[in-house]
Amino acid sequence: MSKRTNTGTWLAFATFLAILGSTIAPATTIDVDGGSAGNDFIAPGEVWKFFKGTEPPSTSPNAWKAIDFDDSNWRTGPAGFGYGDNDDATILNDMLNNYISVYIRKEFSASSPPADEVIKLDIDYDDGFIAYLNGREIARANMPGGTAAYNTRAAGSHEAGSTETFVLGTAGELLNEGSNILAIEGHNTSLDSSDFSLIPALRSASNMVRTGEKWIVETDTVTLKGRADAPDTVSVLANGTYADFNAGDDTWSIDVFLVSGLNAITIEQLDANTNVVNSRTVEIMYVPPANHVAGELIGDMTFSGAYIIEDSVVVPADMVLKIEPGTTVLMKDAAKLVVYGRLLAEGTEAEPVRFTRYGDGTSWKQIMFVEAADSRLAHCIIEYADSEGEHQDYYVPGPRNYHEAVVALASHLDIENCIFRNLPDEGANANGDAIAIISDDQDHPGEATANIRGCEFLSIGQSVHTRFSYVLVEDCYFTGKRGDNDDVDLWGESTPAPLIQNNLFLNPEHDDMINPTRCSAVIIGNVIAGSDDHGVVLRDKCSPVLMNNLIIDCSNGGVAVENSCEALLINNTIVNCGRGLRLFDLGRWDPPYSLNPGGGTATVINCIIWDCPQPVTLTDSSNTQIADRGSHITVKYSDIEGGKNSISVSGSHSTVSWGQGNINADPQFAAANNGDYHLKSRAGRWNASGKNWVIDNITSPCIDAGDPDSPVVFEPYPNGGIINMGVYGGTLEASKSPSGLHAIYGGGTGEPNDPYLIYTAEHLNAIGAEPNDWDKNFKLMADIDLSGYSYDRALIAPDVGGDGYSFPGTSFTGVFDGNGHAVAHLTITGKSYLGLFGQLGSGAEVKGLGVVDVNITGSYYAIGGLVGNNFRGRITTSYSTGTVTGYTHLGGLVGYNENGDIATSYSTAAVSATFSGNQKIGGLVGVNAGRITTSYSTGPVSGERIVGGLVGQTTDLIAMCYSIGMVSGDQYVGGLVGDRHPDYGIVTNCFWDVQTSGLESSEGGIGKTTAEMQTAGTFLEAGWDFVDETENGADNIWWITERQNYPRLWWELSD
């Protein structure tokens, strides 16, 4: 493709059909003129072959338009053709009253024109015409629709005298290398018309490029010119500005200033009442000459507006290329963007970043990341990359030529809300591939990973291919896949395993949709539908997991397990597939595939396989050299149509283990014919279309029919304490159970080795409603958001109406394992003993738990973000954030630590006492009468009396703790501790920040500057046990990033 280097003004043209109501008006021409001429393929006045329309020009109506038509018997003459208006070189004196049409043909040669060069037809005519290039219609004006006969009249009168330009497309689309033919038929309005003209020329606009419906220019000012064709037009507006309008011939013109990037210019034709009688928008992309980029960047760079990638652009290591929202990156033929540094192409939904071709008929190569810094593509459109190829090429050792549009070698990418389409073009058979994440490149080995979220893959080839790489593919949409590649193809193991989650795979033109090979992928929550092959193929030695997937309408099979793969299928629904589940040996033992021989092995739990002609088939491997030639399946707690007898076994080596709990009963889908596979229930079924719960007159036999050892997880109340079968089992959309009023948690028995499992706010609230369970064991299985809930007492073990100081309620004495999860947005407005837990009793343990963004207000006593009163309980590896407000015994984590233990915990909560006479307020604990070790607080603390950055008052031990929050009060105020018992209040090896707290004094602890508090030596000298040192112990309690932050607890490292 030729390089555009003209910095002067140059031409761009756009042609459109004007719309008036629902009627298509005759073609309107807009000439976007900058002043640069192109090349002539057929110049004005050249000699043509012509035929007088006294009869059809050929026996077949279309033959005369073709390149190979024999026109040797036609007359010859120079253009133009006509009579009566003194503009004709070939005068047709006999046309008046004798014939209404004239046919002309001109052969010309095109020798390697640039593919993106725009071709235009300049023509002056009276009254109408239709033009054909190489047999294909390219332009029509003032003619009725359909095929015109030799005696067809023009649609209306049109006088010659002003040449009009019709932009036809690009050379790559329209012209043949070598011989071409332009054929035109001209028509008069009547036999007795006073004149006729047909004066054509075919040219290129040498500095004009078109990409789709957009036109690319390099000048910031263009002149738009055109002819108004709508009846009664008296003026023309361009983006609200009046154009110069000539009422005599209805022509108009206007100068338009362009900004860098895409300019949308709306042309409106107005009548005398300023009503819009016709309108159209022309899109012009202005690329300033300075925005042409090639070669290696010499520093960080930002693209904004429009940029042209001339050849290959390299982003070196340690450099960043940013691309701003709304930017279009026009990639020239075979251009490539190679990133060793970082690429941040971050558009928005309203203003995406577009990577596209420079002009029609061209295609660019790819964006390649090579050992790059973490990069991000967000809200990008990626199209017209030359990305067709076969991923099987990567199976053979040696150098590789990657063909995908986006390739990551030993790099991490975040690809979010992007659209991949038209790869390599919009053709019906186009099947270019989108993304490759590669960890085993010969020249650039190393871990490659990607998070691919919210993307759309529209009618392309393979969407995602990996080699030994972790990818998260989540909330994406795949449709119309083409070619003999799968939508998502995962090859090789990685740590962690790839996660394919909550995606929609619909109606590929061919092949499977998800295919892990030698890859133990986790495939959860997907809808997979409409394949002419398999939905999911699990291949070679690996242990993939399929859970909560809906697989429907796959002709060959729902799931295939092949070549020694051992798969686990839990809570899947497979419906209307040729074979629900296939286990067999595909073969392909030799290169390039080199698959392991052997049948497939599957364990199937809580699944539904229904309306499949063959629910399950097992076939022996044909390889006689292996020890186990069989395919093997274990089925339990599943609904298989036809039961065990429906399973087809081919060969003597394959086996079926038919376990407990299997049924053969109509699953009672809500509306399978409409794609709703929720289970009917008298207790309630989720209605996906209405987003509400509905009641059925029947209950599915698959409800409460799953494996009793499987947790019910997120199943809503009421549930039977046993998971449902099928795709929605264990999820928030699981159908409710009429027999489930006793099942209030997400699983477990409450015993130490089988704790109650807490997944939802409902489960958490259920703990508070069951005092008899407060001596049991609980385990939090997910973060829980309590937004929308508000309480007037503690959620668990609250005060039940005492005098404010005493606790007449039942203490929590069990074990609550937060499991690294958090409870967010706990809101309480009450009196005393407030927190997630009102009071912990003897033997209670809370660990690994966060309470985030709490908003707790108490009017009296024992108020904390996590616990009101810790009475002989133990709290470890826990934290709080938010605000805590009250009167006395008030702390960010715990209000009153009464003979309890608190260790390796922290609070960032803001703690304040707003009631007159308030006292005993601390950033972590209000009053400590127990033990606090290896903990800290950072939030601001304010009150009147006995106020401390860590603890308000202590009568027991505080060791190896610190605080940094601002502290304010009137009496007994300290940077670390406000008040300390002189005999029993021991504060050892503790510190506070004298600068951030605003206090130089404290009843215990050592005050340090911020710099000293951010230095490891301060704490090491006091015996604190840090990661990577052993002199103070090997427990690795603390870590620090010196000169940047304060000490943090070891378990926070995952943050």
The confidence band for 115, taking pLDDT boundaries of 50, 70 and 90, is: confident
Alpha helices (runs of H) in 870-944, residue ranges in sequence order: none
Average pLDDT over residues 929-935: 98
The confidence band for 26, taking pLDDT boundaries of 50, 70 and 90, is: very low
pLDDT (0 to 100) of residue 946: 97
**What are the tens digits of pLDDT across the range 402-416?**
999 999 999 999 999
Average pLDDT over residues 712-735: 92
- Residue 149: is its pLDDT beyond 70? yes
pLDDT (0 to 100) of residue 852: 98
pLDDT (0 to 100) of residue 8: 23
Average pLDDT over residues 13-29: 27
pLDDT (0 to 100) of residue 664: 92
**What are the tens digits of pLDDT across the range 859-881?**
999 999 999 999 999 999 999 99
The confidence band for 721, taking pLDDT boundaries of 50, 70 and 90, is: confident
Which of 10-19, 312-321, 392-401, 650-659 shows the lowest per-residue confidence on average (mean pLDDT)? 10-19
Answer whether 39-206 and 756-1013 agree in fold.
no
pLDDT (0 to 100) of residue 110: 87
β-pair partners for 968 = 942
pLDDT (0 to 100) of residue 1053: 79
Higher-pLDDT residue of 25 and 570 is 570
**What DSSP letter does each residue of 428-492 carry, written as one string?**
TT-----EEEESB-SSSBS--EEEEES-EEES-S-SEEEES-EEEEES-EEES--SSS-SEEEES
Lookup: tokens for 989: 């090896």
pLDDT (0 to 100) of residue 391: 77
Buried b (16+ CB within 10 A) or exposed e, 184-203: bbbbbbeeebebbbbbbbbb
The confidence band for 248, taking pLDDT boundaries of 50, 70 and 90, is: confident
Which of 75-84, 204-213, 1026-1035 shows the lowest per-residue confidence on average (mean pLDDT)? 204-213
Average pLDDT over residues 263-279: 93
- Residue 24: is its pLDDT beyond 80? no
Q: Is 753 exposed, middle or buried (0-12, 13-18, 19+ CB in 10 A)?
A: exposed
Q: Residue 369: CB partners within 8 Å, gap ≥ 6?
A: 339, 343, 375, 406, 407, 408, 409, 411, 413
- Residue 741: is its pLDDT beyond 60? no
Average pLDDT over residues 387-401: 87
**What are the tens digits of pLDDT across the range 751-773?**
999 899 898 888 899 899 899 99
Average pLDDT over residues 713-726: 90
Higher-pLDDT residue of 801 and 422 is 422
The confidence band for 916, taking pLDDT boundaries of 50, 70 and 90, is: confident
Closest CA to 884 of 896, 876, 875, 872: 896
What does CATH list as the number for 39-206?
Answer: 2.60.120.260
- Residue 31: is its pLDDT beyond 60? no
Alpha-carbon distance 148 to 158, whole Å? 18
pLDDT (0 to 100) of residue 1020: 96
Average pLDDT over residues 570-586: 98
The confidence band for 1028, taking pLDDT boundaries of 50, 70 and 90, is: confident
Average pLDDT over residues 621-641: 97
The confidence band for 113, taking pLDDT boundaries of 50, 70 and 90, is: confident
Q: Residue 240: CB partners within 8 Å, gap ≥ 6?
A: none
- Residue 537: is its pLDDT beyond 80? yes
pLDDT (0 to 100) of residue 1054: 59
Contact 761, 785 (CB under 8 A): yes
Which of 211-220, 272-281, 293-302, 673-682 shows the lowest per-residue confidence on average (mean pLDDT)? 211-220
Element (H, E) at 967: strand 967-968
Query: Which residue has tokens 């109506």?
Result: 61
Average pLDDT over residues 124-146: 93
- Residue 36: is its pLDDT beyond 60? no
3-state class (DSSP) for residue 800: coil
Average pLDDT over residues 536-554: 98
* Domain extent listing, the chain: 39-206, 294-504, 512-658, 665-710+718-741, 756-1013
What does CATH list as the number for 756-1013?
Answer: 2.160.20.110
- Residue 260: is its pLDDT beyond 70? yes
Average pLDDT over residues 135-146: 91
**What are the tens digits of pLDDT across the range 882-907?**
999 999 999 999 999 999 999 999 99
**What are the tens digits of pLDDT across the range 455-499?**
999 999 999 999 999 999 999 999 999 988 899 999 999 999 999
Within the chain, what is the greatest distance between any pair of CA atoms? 128
The confidence band for 18, taking pLDDT boundaries of 50, 70 and 90, is: very low
Average pLDDT over residues 908-915: 92
- Contacts within 8 Å (CB) and 24+ apart, 18-27: 18/229, 18/230, 18/269, 18/278, 18/279, 18/280, 19/278, 19/279, 19/280, 20/230, 20/277, 20/278, 25/229, 25/230, 25/278, 26/141, 26/142, 26/155, 26/229, 27/139, 27/140, 27/141, 27/166, 27/229
pLDDT (0 to 100) of residue 182: 97
Average pLDDT over residues 367-371: 98
- Residue 29: is its pLDDT beyond 60? no
Report the chain's mean pLDDT, rounded to a whole number. Answer: 91
- The dihedrals phi and psi of 63, each to the nearest 5 degrees, come to -65, -35
Lookup: tokens for 602: 């599957």
The confidence band for 38, taking pLDDT boundaries of 50, 70 and 90, is: low
Using only the alpha carbons of the chain, give its radius of gyration: 38
Q: Residue 238: CB partners within 8 Å, gap ≥ 6?
A: 224, 254, 256, 265, 266, 267, 268
Query: Which residue has tokens 């021989």?
Result: 597
Share of the chain above pLDDT 70, in %: 95
Q: Strand 527-529 to strand 504-506: parallel, antiparallel, or no bridges (unpaired)?
A: parallel
β-pair partners for 954 = 928, 980
- Residue 16: is its pLDDT beyond 90? no
pLDDT (0 to 100) of residue 96: 96
User: Is-cis flag, bond preceding 993, omega within 30?
Assistant: no
Average pLDDT over residues 632-638: 97
Which of 209-213, 676-680, 985-989, 1049-1053 shows the lowest per-residue confidence on average (mean pLDDT)? 209-213
- Residue 605: is its pLDDT beyond 60? yes
Which of 296-300, 321-325, 427-431, 983-987 shows the lowest per-residue confidence on average (mean pLDDT)? 427-431
